[in-house]
Amino acid sequence: MGSGSGVRARLSARAIVAVLARKGQEEVLAARLGLLDAPKRSGRDGVTALGIGPGRWLLLDPSADQLAGLTDLASLSDQSDGYAVFEVWGPSVRAALAKGVPLDLHPAVFTDSVAVTVIAHIGAIVWQSAADRFAIAVFRSYAGSFWHWLCASAAEFGLTVEEQP
Amino acid sequence: MSRLAEGGLIERRKALQFRFDGRTYRGFSGDTLASALLANDVVLVGRSFKYHRPRGIFTAGSDEPNALVELRRGARREPNTKATTVELFDGLEAWSQNRFPSRAFDLLSVNNLLSPFLTAGFYYKSFMWPSSWWEKVYEPWIRRAAGLGRASGEADPDTYEKAHAFCDVLVAGSGPAGLMAALSAGRAGARVILCEEDFLFGGRLLSETYAIADRPAANWAMNAVAELRSLSNVRLMPRTSLVAVYDGNGYAALERVGDHLAIPASHQPRQRLWKIVAGRAVIATGCHERLIAFGGNDVPGVMQASAIRTFLNRHAVVPGRSVSLFTATDNGWRTAADLARAGIGVAAVVDSRRHVNPALVAAARRTGARVFLDAQVVGVRGGKRVRSVEISTDGHNALTVPCDALGVSGGFNPALGLTSHLGARPRWSDAVSAYVPDALPPGMDVAGAARGIFSLSGCLADGARAGAEAGGRRTEVPVAEGECSDLEPFWRTKRSRGKAFVDLQNDVTEGDVIQAAREGFISGEHLKRYTTLGMATDQGKTGAIVGQMVLTALTGRAPEDVAPPIARPPAVPVAIGAYAGLHRGRDFRPTRLTAGHAWAVERGATFTETGQWLRAQWFAREGEKDWLETVSREAAHVRAAAGICDVSTLGKIDIQGRDAGIFLDRIYINSFSTLPVGKARYGVMLREDGFVMDDGTTSRLGEDRYFMTTTTANAGRVMQHLEFCHQVLWPELDVQMISVTEQWAQYAVAGPRSRDALRKVVDRAFDISDAAFPYMAAAGITVCGGIEARLFRISFSGELAYELAVPARYGDALIRRVMDTAADTGLAPYGTEALSVLRIEKGHPAGNELNGQTTAHDLGLGRLMSSKKDFIGRVLAGRQALTAPDRPSLAGFKPVERGKRMRGGAHFFVPGIRIEPDHVEGHMTSVCFSPALGHWIGLGLLKRGPERIGEHLRAYDPVRDEDFLVEVCSPIFVDPEGARLRV
Amino acid sequence: MRYSAYNLVAQALRCNRHWKPLWRDAAPRPAYDIVIVGGGGHGLATAYYLAKEHGLSNIAVIERSWIGSGNAGRNTTIIRSNYREPGNIPLYELSMKLWEGLEQELNYNVMVSQRGVCNLFHSDAQRDAYARRGNMMRIHGVDAELLDEAAVRRHAPFLDFDNARFPIRGGLLQKRGGTARHDAVVWGYARGASDLGVDIIQNCEVTGFTLTAGRITGVETTRGVIAAKKVGLAVAGNSSRLAAMAGFRLPIETCVLQAMVTEGIKPLIPGVITFGAGHFYISQSDKGGLVFGGDIDSYKSYAQRGNLPVIEDVCEGGMAIMPMLGRLRVLRQWAGNVDMTMDGSPIIDRAPVDGLYFNGGWCYGGFKATPASGFTFAHLIARDMPHASAAALRLDRFSTGHVIDENGQGAQANLH
Amino acid sequence: MRITCPYCGERDSEEFSVQGEVAGPRPRPSDYGDADVKAFHAYVHLRANDFGLTREYWYHGNGCRRWLEVSRDTRNHAILGVAMASGAGRR
Ligand SMILES: Cc1cc2nc3c(=O)[nH]c(=O)nc-3n(C[C@H](O)[C@H](O)[C@H](O)COP(=O)(O)OP(=O)(O)OC[C@H]3O[C@@H](n4cnc5c(N)ncnc54)[C@H](O)[C@@H]3O)c2cc1C
Ligand SMILES: NC(=O)c1ccc[n+]([C@@H]2O[C@H](COP(=O)([O-])OP(=O)(O)OC[C@H]3O[C@@H](n4cnc5c(N)ncnc54)[C@H](O)[C@@H]3O)[C@@H](O)[C@H]2O)c1
Ligand SMILES: Cc1cc2nc3c(=O)[nH]c(=O)nc-3n(C[C@H](O)[C@H](O)[C@H](O)COP(=O)(O)O)c2cc1C
Ligand SMILES: [Zn+2]
């Protein structure tokens, strides 16, 4: 799409579990799993947790161990199939994303942030999976429309699609 | 050719060809269409709105009232385009507008002769006789005559984009003030955006012969821009107009990405709408030189004095061979000096002031110009171009001075529109005889001429100040050549000959203002609306204030006593396409596809929109003559064998927590805390006003866990409602919820052989026999060898039926597998239309019945309403009108003459009773052809419906010219005992 | 001064020097029989009909700013009577009939343009809902036609039938619907009322009420107390403020409604077209500008201006069905403060305070009602009895449940 | 309009939907008779609709999904405070 490859993208498959704190258990739960109760990336032991609301997180690729014994602390809900997660990077990634992402993605501003937001009328969760590399999760039914938006937005910079490793 | 041999900011090596009204001309890169036309001696550019008077070019910017053209051809035609803002490109084509048959000879210019009748408000007083002529004669005529250019009428072939930007300091305008503001903020490291609507940065500096720091001003500007460009924290946005200010430091800017090209570059939009959030904004948008009302001030060749300098200095274009100036400011004299320096004859300088800086006068005299102080231009001769001006020093006798252009400088209007977008009103400043910004919205500052500072050194210093205050740091202000910028307000020439316009584009004259005042339109806003003063595409930037001041004087008020009509967004007109961006046509809204979509496409499904979802409506087979045959076949097949339907779009909510049951009890009219684990129950929820909000089945998957389904249409609203109830009303409850609509692909498998079909995929460990898994059972199971799934024995069709959910990634594979393995059971896909047939046959309410106006009782669900608990809507459901016995309630209908096709939306009347509003008995909500019964059936809401079974009623449907008898019956057409469910 | 062809010529020959003010710009007198608060279309029409139909004369209309400065002066001028609810249709149809004779009635050309209102539908369910509405209109004697896709193609061939996200399946057409020149309606009624002796008092804001024994005896204003035997409120978006002064609350929230106009162009579209799967409606003014709008800015506001998201939403809707709009430019955006009721329908009733009458809750659609609203409100004030055509528009319908909820949105003001 | 969500931070109002004025606590029904109807009628329908300071429920639906109570000035849209709505409508 376009020429050059100012933007690169791939689809990334991840296990996602929503962890919703039981009433009054937010802090205990956060401490147990090493979570920040904030719109931030947090977590430990190889788990990435995305704060998506007060007392609400999405855990990426959690292990069974980590989820065990949370019964009284949290309600868990599998969301692995609920989202399509895109990863986008490249020299023009910010310019392309600016065409729909209503967030200040300046490197000094959007660092360990997680933002639940809306992109081109599609609800989305945005975070950085690595420096200058953005992950965007959209509900899976929207994946086609989201991809269409991404192609249109990145076209002028050249878009290269990478296979999943 | 009227091009100077040298000078100007044009690239003479880049010659460009363009066409205007079919003739080919040449210009240069760096020209605007206006400068290129003038360079080719094209002075007459179009005809005026009402009187069809010849018009030329009045300004050199986006405040242009006259030089409007149709730009480009075919689907790209843009009417009303200001020639002064069009950057010339090779191959450009433009046409004059509002003329018939031609620019030079326009038949409708008879309106000019009729002008005594066409004064302010004439429409309202006329065209009433005879009254029948209005629709047929007058109105069509008025409409044809109105408007200026012609829209293409074709879909816009170009694309548009929107984008977001964030900065600390947003600077609009790149004149001396804007550049200094950007420099002082940028040098301090702030994130700066500098947007400039022109294609070059520099503002007036590009048009003037000043010196700054001992360099020509334009060079200084280019150096400043180069420095800004070198700063990584500064973003320069040429061809970008700041168009609007919104709440919370939100700004909108329009970038013309491809308008300077014949067609936009590939993968580039034509325009991009920027939504900018800025900590601070500095509005440095300069000012507009205003006109003076005198007879003939619209003749082609009459121009702003400052526009003459732009054409001369920036574009190296000679606006006339012999130019006069009519000025109330020092600016007119400066124009004279620049003209003379370029070797152009200055015929006369007429100043309305008695006292003018003697140095200016002496300089003008040296050029050979005739100088008139305390004098006025009282008329202009010339039809299609100025031939001479008439000058009077005593208001009586006039002297004719031949010339072919007239520069006018009546003072300056700070370009402060953006400062009033949030409602702030400017104040009058006697010092500069103009309205200047007063209170400003939070975060906004104004600098330079936009703030009423009209000297170059003042603008530089003010820009530096504003930049520093916006978070920059003090920056050295370069020394600028001193500049004379005195002025005295001067609005109109008294006793002038001919029409004196105060709104050139809308053809509003001083006389119209006087008449409006006479007729009582003495508020400035009334004046505007009665005469259309300032309502044209230029929003009266150069003239409206003159009309307002005429009114102010007539009514004995002072400028400070009146508020000028408020400026509204956008600051310059913005294409509708730009506000829409990508979201047009098919991309208007995103499309949601279920996991089984690709499979349905392969099966030849026809799809229907349900909110943003696409759902398979039916699966036509070869040889079927219409959808009705297909749908009937699908529905009948479900009742005879088995069918499968994708119901993934239903809202699904995972509700957990110790208090989940209590929570649901308060949400639903019926009870859920008593629902055993492993069971599903149909539930109805009300809005707080007592009407039904939604329905669906909710299952209990564990002690603390429920799985709620909602209708597709209401999924979002229900989720929002639940969260309101939990977070706002009952935060003490331990309940957590999250939408799992997208997590699960869900299929309804229905029909007598549905169990057989399911057995092909359900893992053997799970017994789904009627005994082990009875009606309304719900369980987590596995399918296809260990894939987690959920099975619900619920039925919308009245048949033995299940809903099977699998994680969405398996949605596609599952349906393929079931279809393959269960082929011997006859399993066939069915779409939403057959789904609807099946539910109508069973009398289940759906969207047309859950229309927000029905109560649970209306739908025959009143018995579910628990009287043992409080729930949302219970109290107001008890209101008098909601419990009235004769409310229309759900009933079934069939045509008395069975072959008739019934229609949704028909109204019921008792036969023999007159058709009138008071006699309406109800209406038909849903209809279908029932394959089970072999005729059309319907559901409807009928007064006392259930009591009237057997009665014959008229189904009256005048919009489809139908009117026949129907019989009231039970809404359950098939298997009223529900035996088929429990096999 | 009566307008006639003769008069126009005579004036023109005398250089238009002898025109008279359309209405007297009156100063407040100490007392009136009836004071109408609000110099919008409804207030002025009420005064006009009080004088004309009920022979009353000692009447003042009090306007805080210039007449027509409220929603009357900023609406998208659509007139129609294509309602569905029996409580609404009679009022809007009475209005339509009054519109049809208004220029003769007022001897003022308010440029009623009956070029049709076409509501597009995009699904079978929507078609049935429009059929239901159309039938209800026909039952009330109102014209309505259900167009199929082919008929819509003939009516508006420029619509995007083939590339639409929500394909156009047909439309509900009311041919008698259309537009009228909003400002002229204000001026025409003002002139008519003034000629019948009504005082039109501008720049006079009502700041309170005077009460004796629970009964209204007058209004306090920025220009002094004005006594009145009866007071009628017709202040649209400001209804709740006035109600608060009189000590009661209304089922109303005031929201922003925006509108836009493009640069003037030659005739492009017939009548009014509304999009049924998004928020967009459009018509073309006599001057050539395309006047369009969509949804409200659903937050409460008295600020007469809105924000960008709604403008984007409206333009997206426009481009979804009329891609030929792309290059046409929005010239101006503005907004009004609309009095959204909890069921989306208006209220014409006695207020809970003796001597006080209430007219409001017009939401985004009261311009079309102007003549009938004035007519029926005048009837209510003069006779102390509701007019038959407005009988359902009661204030107590929210507590009794007799709500008139055209779209079944329920009791949330900004959803209507 | 920009709203500073206590959780998400400053966001455009596009991400939110507004329900309307904070109408006070939901009444506690007693016998579901006239008095209850009256109380619920006031709660569901009647609004101060203030000119000036108002409190509204906004839902951060395209964000953290929290209901917020936003204090705003209806004359100029100035936002004076945003808080989580938890418990505001409690009985
Ligand atoms: C953008 C927009 C588009 C619309 N489009 C349409 C449409 O196409 N069709 C349609 O039918 N309707 C439309 N409407 C609705 C319609 O404009 C209104 O419902 C209608 O104008 C309200 O009645 P009114 O004319 O009397 O109101 P207004 O003109 O608002 O009159 C109320 C008057 O009361 C005055 N006032 C307020 N408080 C006081 C006080 N304390 N003392 C004295 N005076 C006071 C105000 O200044 C104002 O002049 C639209 C509204 C808007 C904002
Ligand atoms: N001699 C006099 O009497 C007199 C009077 C007035 C002004 N002036 C001169 O005019 C200059 C004023 O300087 P300044 O910096 O204030 O203004 P400027 O006119 O030099 O620059 C304003 C710039 O803003 C741009 N602009 C306008 N609206 C815009 C928008 N909405 N978005 C983006 N860009 C926009 C314009 O294209 C222009 O380039 C000074 O040089 C001053 O000497 C002289
Ligand atoms: C039907 C209609 C047509 C309009 N046409 C124009 C127009 O052609 N030019 C213009 O500048 N404004 C036009 N306006 C907008 C008005 O200038 C003005 O913005 C609006 O009446 C609101 O008033 P306000 O902006 O003073 O608050 C129009 C308004 C309406 C209601
Ligand atoms: Zn949030």
Q: What is the pLDDT of residue B483?
A: 80
Element (H, E) at C119: strand C117-121
What's the maximum distance between 2 C-alpha atoms anywhere in chain D? Answer: 45
The answer, for D54 touching chain C at a CB cutoff of 8 Å, is yes
Cross-strand pairs, A114: A127
The answer, for B589 touching chain C at a CB cutoff of 8 Å, is yes
pLDDT digits (tens, 9 = 90+) for B636-651: 999 999 999 999 999 9
Measured on CA atoms in the order D30, D34, D35, D36, is the torsion positive or negative? positive
Element (H, E) at B957: strand B952-957
DSSP, residue by residue, B359-424? HHHHHHHHTT-EEESS-EEEEEE-SSS--EEEEESSSS--EEEE-SEEEEE--EEE--GGGGTTS-
Q: Name the residue with tokens 């492993």.
A: B678
The closest CB to that of D19, out of C239, C251, C412, belongs to: C412
Ligand nearest to the CA of C201: 1
Q: What is the pLDDT of residue B781?
A: 98
Contact C188, C112 (CB under 8 A): no
Q: Please state, in angstroms and rounded to a whole number, the distance separating the CA atoms of residues B249 and B281.
A: 8
CB-CB under 8 Å, B422 with D65? no
Q: Please state, in angstroms and rounded to a whole number, the distance separating the CA atoms of residues B780 and B705.
A: 12
Cross-strand pairs, D68: D58, D84
Best probe of the B interface among A81, A105, A125, by most B CBs < 10 A, is A81
Write b or e for each residue in C158-197: b if 16 or more Cβ atoms lie within 10 A of its Cβ, otherwise e: bbbbeebbbbbbbbbbbebbbbbbbbbbbbbbbbbbbbbe
Q: Name the residue with tokens 């500098």.
A: B194
Element (H, E) at A146: helix A143-154
Which residues of A are less than 8 Å from D14 in CB distance?
Answer: 102, 118
Amino acid at B332: G
Task: Read off the tokens for B334.
Answer: 């400066």
DSSP for residue B858: T
Report the number of secondary-structure helices (H) and strands (E) in chain C: 11, 18
Cross-strand pairs, B94: B20, B71
Q: What is the pLDDT of residue B112?
A: 79
Alpha carbon of B717 to ligand 3 centroid (Å): 36
Q: How far is CA B805 from the centre of its chain?
A: 41
Contact B550, B565 (CB under 8 A): no
Backbone angles phi, psi at B646, to 5 degrees: -75, 115
Measured on CA atoms in the order B174, B178, B184, B188, is the torsion positive or negative? negative
Which atom of ligand 2 is closest in space to residue B195's alpha carbon?
33
The answer, for D42 touching chain C at a CB cutoff of 8 Å, is yes
Amino acid at B150: R
Cβ neighbours, 10 Å, residue D69: 19
Backbone angles phi, psi at C119, to 5 degrees: -95, 115
Cβ neighbours, 10 Å, residue B262: 12
The closest CB to that of C301, out of D12, D42, D74, belongs to: D74
3-state secondary structure C2-42: CCCHHHHHHHHHCCCCCCCCCCCECCCCCEEEEEEECCCHH
Q: What is the pLDDT of residue A1?
A: 57
How crowded is the C-beta side of B166, counted as CA atoms within 13 Å?
17
Q: What is the pLDDT of residue B891?
A: 98
Can you give the C-alpha Rg of chain D in angstroms? 15
Task: Read off the tokens for C341.
Answer: 């009721």
**pTM for this structure?**
0.98
The closest CB to that of C160, out of B521, B585, B881, belongs to: B585
> How many contacts (CB atoms, under 8 Å) link A and D?
36
Measured on CA atoms in the order A20, A26, A29, A32, is the torsion positive or negative? positive
Contact D1, D79 (CB under 8 A): yes
More confident residue, B133 or B434: B434
Angle at B615 between CA B611 and CA B616, to 5 degrees: 155
Q: What is the mean pLDDT of chain B?
A: 96
Whether the predicted interface score ipTM is above 0.90: yes
Task: Read off the tokens for B833.
Answer: 């239309």
Contact D36, D30 (CB under 8 A): yes
| pLDDT beyond 50 at B409 | yes
CB-CB under 8 Å, B423 with D65? no
Q: What is the pLDDT of residue B1?
A: 67
| pLDDT beyond 70 at D89 | no
Q: Name the residue with tokens 């109102």.
A: C142
- Residue A96, min C-alpha distance to chain B (Å): 9
Q: What is the pLDDT along chain C (416 residues), one digit of tens a residue?
A: 889 888 888 888 888 888 899 999 999 999 999 999 999 999 999 999 999 999 998 999 999 999 999 999 999 999 999 999 999 999 999 999 999 999 999 999 999 999 999 999 999 999 999 999 999 999 999 999 999 999 999 999 999 998 999 999 999 999 999 999 999 999 999 999 999 999 999 999 999 999 999 999 999 999 999 999 999 999 999 999 999 999 999 999 999 999 999 999 999 999 999 999 999 999 999 999 999 999 999 999 999 999 999 999 999 999 999 999 999 999 999 999 999 999 999 999 999 999 999 999 999 999 999 999 999 999 999 999 999 999 999 999 999 999 999 999 999 999 99
- Residue C213, min C-alpha distance to chain B (Å): 32
Cβ neighbours, 10 Å, residue C148: 12
CA distances to B61, B64, B484 from B289, in Å: 11, 11, 15
Contact B878, D32 (CB under 8 A): yes
Q: Please state, in angstroms and rounded to a whole number, the distance separating the CA atoms of residues C172 and C84.
A: 12
| pLDDT beyond 50 at D91 | no
User: Average pLDDT, stretch B399-419?
Assistant: 97
Spatial strand order in the sheet of A83-89: A114-119, A122-130, A133-139, A83-89, A7-12, A159-161
More confident residue, C312 or B134: C312
The closest CB to that of C302, out of D42, D45, D74, belongs to: D74
Q: What is the pLDDT of residue A3?
A: 67
Contact C260, C311 (CB under 8 A): yes
pLDDT digits (tens, 9 = 90+) for B818-875: 999 999 999 999 999 999 999 999 999 999 999 999 999 999 999 999 999 999 999 9
Measured on CA atoms in the order A74, A76, A79, A80, is the torsion positive or negative? positive
Query: What does DSSP say about strands D79-84 and D67-73: parallel, antiparallel, or unpaired?
Result: antiparallel
pLDDT digits (tens, 9 = 90+) for B542-569: 999 999 999 999 999 999 998 899 999 9
User: Average pLDDT, stretch B909-922?
Assistant: 97
pLDDT digits (tens, 9 = 90+) for A53-104: 999 999 999 998 889 989 899 999 999 999 999 999 999 999 999 999 999 9
> How many contacts (CB atoms, under 8 Å) link B and D?
77
Cross-strand pairs, B744: B807
Cross-strand pairs, B656: B705, B736
Alpha carbon of A114 to ligand 2 centroid (Å): 42
User: Average pLDDT, stretch B943-961?
Assistant: 97
Ligand 3-lining residues (CB < 6 angstroms): B 525, 535, 539, 565-566, 568; C 73-77, 182, 261, 285, 287, 289, 291, 304, 331-332, 334
Testing ligand 2's pocket by substitution, the residue of B64, B174, B488 carrying the most ligand atoms inside 8 A of its CB is B174
Q: How far is CA B744 from the centre of its chain?
A: 36
The pLDDT confidence band at residue B148, using thresholds 50, 70 and 90, is confident
